[in-house]
């Protein structure tokens, strides 16, 4: 999917919501457990109920891998339930030497046919480049994450050609030359809204994938005010607040309500930025 | 497996060889392709032929995931072929927020029953800790990798409490307090043997997993002289040189010969260090 098509979907749905499919089999409504594939069945209901309010789904690989081969089968079914016009992100945080990153790219872009995969930058350019060789596919590179541990290394001051900057900033300024705004995004945690104005200057045209709104404490308003660009440039993720809005038989209905609430807030911010005309 | 048991195996086999199972279906001997699971069958032959020369096997997750659910089934079978007294490493380079890292830990330590998993440090302490909560299991944290891209970020000078050091050194000095030498190792590329004396001072007791000997240009002699401690403290990996020593029907025999050659060199270095008495 091109950035233009993604922006079209955002305008059409008045939403830049990404729904994280962190589907935890221990948290599913009990009436689904008798189904032969409770994880896929849960996702099917969630996708049917929420698809009009979001522009992206982001399955979190860990939750599927924890179930072994059957978990990847649930993931495969889940991908088939997602409509064509919705952007799909493999939240996998991969990154390895070239021939291995190329294999991960084949897994996510070819076998599962995701539009994008999250990648970790620690091993540098040759660990990221193999993902960028797939036409029409995206790398979403970790820059500044939403968790407490982000301070351990991402916030360290590094020296790049005599200039001092936080490590995450050097990740953005170096990697921005590896691809462009049509095949790279950055992960910027919503809990770091104070850094967002600065980050937007470093990468004015790129989409940012923003986790951390809700359970982790980030503010949708702050992120939207600081991070939105002329093509929106934001995908704001919510997972648990939507998936587990109810643990009863009304889970899909309640998930839809939670997603709609976020969509309605997003519509206000898109309108303020005059992106809906 | 405890560090003592691992050292016992090293003394018994006179080897600190780890064999990387980067099994690429496009590189298998053609006579195996008619088998219902060529990847598992190839691994079975490799494991039978090489197990007396190595102390660890390291399946590379990317190669299995690129085949979808069937690939994870091949991995499951492969794990069953590995003898109990051989250390198993999931080369997965995972790392995510706490609840997600906990799911990855369940995948590798519970579902697949690996002894260890490779973890990437970019997201910091709370992304690594969930792996350390599994008793008897190991985190192998990326510090200084063997690829060219290692220079992009790992080698950047960072400022930690007023002291300047390369990023990879801050990864070692911080993370060394998250676990201990009985549940943490570090990845140090063999191509960085010049740094090994210094790194060994930072973590005198820890095992190091060393990729990059062979195809990537690292020297077994240099790594062994600089990195060995009183419990050996090294697992040196070789993948392609062993797996693809021949593409004919003699592949297992030739793999055994390649593994034996490395084992025999290792025996010399262990003997020099007087670890075989």
**Among all chains, which residue has been given the structure tokens 């090294």?**
B234
| pLDDT tens-digit map of B202-224 | 999 999 999 988 777 889 999 99
| pLDDT tens-digit map of A62-119 | 999 999 999 999 999 999 999 999 999 999 999 999 999 999 999 999 999 999 999 9
**Among all chains, which residue has been given the structure tokens 């993720």?**
A237
Buried b (16+ CB within 10 A) or exposed e, A76-97: bebbebbeeebbbbbbbbbbbb
Looking at the domain assignment, is residue A277 inside a domain? no
Looking at the domain assignment, is residue B169 inside a domain? no
Tell which residue, A170, A167, A119, has the closest CA to residue B120: A119
| Residue-level pLDDT at B193 | 81
> Are B62 and A126 inside 8 Å of each other by CB?
no
Instruction: From chain A, pick out residues whose CB is under 8 angstroms from the CB of B120.
Output: 93, 95, 120, 122-123
Looking at the domain assignment, is residue B226 inside a domain? yes
Looking at the domain assignment, is residue A142 inside a domain? yes
C-alpha B81/C-alpha B58 separation (Å) is 13
Check: CB of residue B132 under 8 Å from CB of residue B104: no
Q: Which residues contact B213 (CB under 8 A, 6 or more apart)?
A: B190, B219, B220, B223, B236, B237, B238, B262
- H/E element holding A89? strand A87-94
Q: Taking residues B9-26, what's their average pLDDT?
A: 98
- Counted across chains A and B, CB pairs separated by less than 8 A come out at 199
| Residue-level pLDDT at B165 | 96
Q: Does A78 touch chain B (CB under 8 A)?
A: no
| Residue-level pLDDT at A139 | 98
Tell which residue, A104, A77, A83, A81, has the closest CA to residue A1: A83
Q: Which residues, numbered 49 to 68 in chain A, qualify as contacts with chain B under a Cβ-Cβ cut-off of 8 Å?
A: 60, 62-63, 65-68
Q: Does B176 touch chain A (CB under 8 A)?
A: no
pLDDT for A3 beyond 90: yes
| pLDDT tens-digit map of B28-55 | 999 999 999 999 999 999 999 999 999 9
| Residue-level pLDDT at A262 | 97
B38: how many CB neighbours lie within 10 A of its CB? Answer: 18
| pLDDT tens-digit map of B56-110 | 999 999 999 999 999 999 999 999 999 999 999 999 999 999 999 999 999 999 9
pLDDT for A216 beyond 90: no
pLDDT for A205 beyond 80: yes
> Are A107 and B154 inside 8 Å of each other by CB?
no
Sheet containing A163-166: which strands, arranged edge to edge? A163-166, A157-160, B157-160, B163-166
| pLDDT tens-digit map of A12-58 | 999 999 999 999 999 999 999 999 999 999 999 999 999 999 999 99
| Residue-level pLDDT at A277 | 78
Looking at the domain assignment, is residue B167 inside a domain? no
| Residue-level pLDDT at A214 | 78
Number of domains, chain B: 1
| pLDDT tens-digit map of B169-186 | 999 999 999 999 999 999
* Band of residue A179 on the pLDDT scale cut at 50, 70, 90: very high
Phi-psi region of B136 (alpha: psi -120 to 50; beta: other; left: phi over 0): left
**B277 or A127: whose pLDDT is higher?**
A127
- H/E element holding A140? strand A138-144
| Residue-level pLDDT at B133 | 98
Percent of chain B topping pLDDT 90: 94
Looking at the domain assignment, is residue B68 inside a domain? yes
> Are A146 and B103 inside 8 Å of each other by CB?
no
What sign has the CA pseudo-torsion B169, B174, B178, B182?
positive
Average pLDDT, chain B: 96
Q: What's A28's domain CATH number?
A: 3.20.20.70
Residue ranges making up the domain that contains A169: 3-272
pLDDT for A232 beyond 80: yes
Buried b (16+ CB within 10 A) or exposed e, B169-205: bbbbebbbebbebebbbbbbbbbbbebbeebbeebee
| Residue-level pLDDT at B277 | 78
> Are B154 and A124 inside 8 Å of each other by CB?
yes
- H/E element holding A143? strand A138-144
Q: Which residues, numbered 194 to 213 in chain A, qualify as contacts with chain B under a Cβ-Cβ cut-off of 8 Å?
A: none
Q: Does B76 touch chain A (CB under 8 A)?
A: yes
| pLDDT tens-digit map of B228-257 | 999 999 999 999 999 999 999 999 999 999
Check: CB of residue A40 under 8 Å from CB of residue A2: no
> Are A63 and B98 inside 8 Å of each other by CB?
no
Looking at the domain assignment, is residue A230 inside a domain? yes
* Band of residue A194 on the pLDDT scale cut at 50, 70, 90: confident
Is residue B261 annotated as part of the catalytic site, yes or no? no
CA dihedral A206, A211, A213, A214 (to 10 degrees): 160
Q: Hey, is A55 helix, strand or coil?
A: coil
> Of B91, B92, B106, B153, which to mutate for an interface test with A (greatest number of A Cβ within 10 Å)?
B153
pLDDT for B14 beyond 80: yes
Q: Does A152 touch chain B (CB under 8 A)?
A: yes
Residue A253 to residues A239, A245, A261, Cα–Cα distance (Å):
15, 9, 12
Q: Does A106 touch chain B (CB under 8 A)?
A: yes
Average pLDDT, chain A: 96
| Residue-level pLDDT at B215 | 73
Check: CB of residue A231 under 8 Å from CB of residue A55: no
* Band of residue A273 on the pLDDT scale cut at 50, 70, 90: very high
* Band of residue B4 on the pLDDT scale cut at 50, 70, 90: very high
What is the complex's ipTM, to 2 decimals?
0.97
The conformation of residue A273, written as its DSSP 8-state character, comes to: T
> Are A68 and B72 inside 8 Å of each other by CB?
yes
Q: Taking residues A161-183, what's their average pLDDT?
A: 96
Q: Does A77 touch chain B (CB under 8 A)?
A: no
Looking at the domain assignment, is residue B174 inside a domain? no
């Amino acid at each position: 999917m091109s950035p233009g098509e993604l922006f079209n979907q955002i305008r059409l749905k008045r939403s830049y919501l990404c729904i994280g499919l962190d589907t935890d089999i221990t948290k599913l409504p009990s009436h689904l457990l008798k189904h032969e594939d409770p994880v896929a069945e849960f996702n099917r209901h969630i996708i049917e109920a929420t698809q009009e309010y979001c522009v992206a789904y982001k399955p979190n690989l860990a939750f599927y891998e924890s179930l072994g081969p059957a978990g990847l089968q649930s993931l495969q079914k889940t991908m088939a339930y997602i409509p064509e016009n919705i952007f799909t992100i493999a939240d996998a945080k991969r990154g390895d030497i070239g021939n291995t990153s190329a294999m991960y790219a084949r897994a996510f872009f070819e076998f599962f046919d995701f539009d994008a995969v999250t990648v970790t930058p620690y091993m540098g350019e040759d660990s990221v480049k193999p993902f960028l060789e797939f036409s029409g596919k995206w790398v979403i590179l970790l820059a500044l994450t939403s968790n407490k541990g982000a301070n351990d290394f991402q916030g360290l001051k590094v020296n790049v050609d005599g200039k001092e900057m936080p490590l995450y900033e050097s990740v953005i300024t170096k990697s921005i030359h590896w691809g462009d705004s049509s095949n790279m995004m950055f992960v910027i945690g919503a809990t770091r809204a104070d850094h967002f104005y600065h980050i937007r200057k470093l990468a004015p045209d790129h989409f940012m994938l923003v986790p951390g709104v809700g359970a982790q404490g980030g503010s949708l308003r702050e992120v939207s005010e600081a991070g939105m660009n002329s093509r929106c440039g934001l995908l704001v993720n919510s997972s648990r607040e939507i998936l587990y809005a109810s643990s009863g038989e009304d889970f899909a209905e309640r998930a839809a309500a939670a997603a709609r609430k976020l969509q309605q807030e997003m519509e206000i911010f898109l309108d303020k930025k005059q992106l809906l005309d």
